[in-house]
Amino acid sequence: MANEDDMGLAGKVAIVTGGGAAEGGIGNGKAAAVLLARTGCKVVVADRDKKLAEETAAIIAKEGNTASAIAADVASERDCAAVVKAAMDRYGRLDVLDNNVGIAHQATVLEETLEHWDTMMRVSVTSMFLMSKHAIPAMVAGGKGGAIINISSISALRPRGLTAYSTAKGAIISFTRALAVDHGPAGIRVNCVAPGPVYTPLVYAGGKMTPEGRERRRESSLTGTEGTGWDIGNAVVFLASERARYITGHTLVVDGGATLTSRRRDG
């Protein structure tokens, strides 16, 4: 049973895309799925790798909460439609969408290829467009609106040699604001989270990060605190909850203050 304080989410249904995490770690989507379930949400965990989605759903079930896993490539409209249909068929409603999928790549415009640019935009931006396109009608059909949370990055606010990535993350912020304007009258709030240099499998899986690199990222926080997927998941839960009922079109920066001082290529 749910074990978090009531945030007005009990009995609601959430979709979390990118809800798996490599190497048994805790990514932003996995953390959000677990934390949403603790509020009483029923969670549909979507990931391109169904095994990873099932691992997240198993954690939720072990805690006595409700989740189901589905394999989906959210760069595919067919898969996006299938995820929403699965939520409606299984739980009969849809209230929350956490658009969490994205990829990272470091390159300047001179180094970047058109092929990779197109892939970046499709995976990181078009995926959110497609999921929202299919989720919003389901939310409206429920008659009580809903909440969409899009995951961007401080790279949208502090570009640093990741041109395609920074551009995609900036587009997500603009997309968030446009959705908030267009669908606010239907009771749908749309907000954005911009994570800083959090320690997740996206940055360390496969030995991609050295201990020295991890320490530099920790030091980029004004408080000397290392950010994790749980910090991003907590921000998602807040924005999905009734505690944020008067917040829409907003970008919540969760970075330990890194954007105030750091210019390192570490976030």
Active-site residue flag, 91: no
Q: How far, in Å, are 7, 82, 192, 229, 254 from residue 195 at the CA level?
A: 22, 28, 10, 9, 5
Domain that holds residue 34: 13-255
Is residue 71 in a domain? yes
Share of the chain above pLDDT 70, in %: 95
Is residue 30 in a domain? yes
Q: Which of 165, 199, 204, 246 is catalytic?
A: 165
Q: Specify the pTM.
A: 0.93
Q: How many domains does the chain have?
A: 1
Quote the pLDDT of residue 237: 98
Quote the pLDDT of residue 213: 82
Is residue 182 in a domain? yes
Is residue 242 in a domain? yes
Is residue 219 in a domain? yes
> What CATH number does residue 64 fall under?
3.40.50.720
- Of 81, 159, 165, 80, whose CA–CA distance to 127 is shortest? 80
Average pLDDT over residues 145-163: 93
Q: Write out the E strands in 80-187.
A: 96-99, 146-151
Share of the chain above pLDDT 90, in %: 77
Tokens of 34: 């677990």
DSSP label at residue 123: I
Per-residue pLDDT of 63-83, as tens digits, reads 999 999 999 999 999 999 999
232 vs 267, higher pLDDT: 232
Quote the pLDDT of residue 205: 67
Mean pLDDT, the chain, whole residue set? 92
Is residue 2 in a domain? no
**What DSSP line would sit under 73-103, residue for residue?**
-TTSHHHHHHHHHHHHHHHS---EEEE----
Is residue 6 in a domain? no
Is residue 162 in a domain? yes
For the cut 90, the answer to whether the pLDDT of residue 210 exceeds it is no
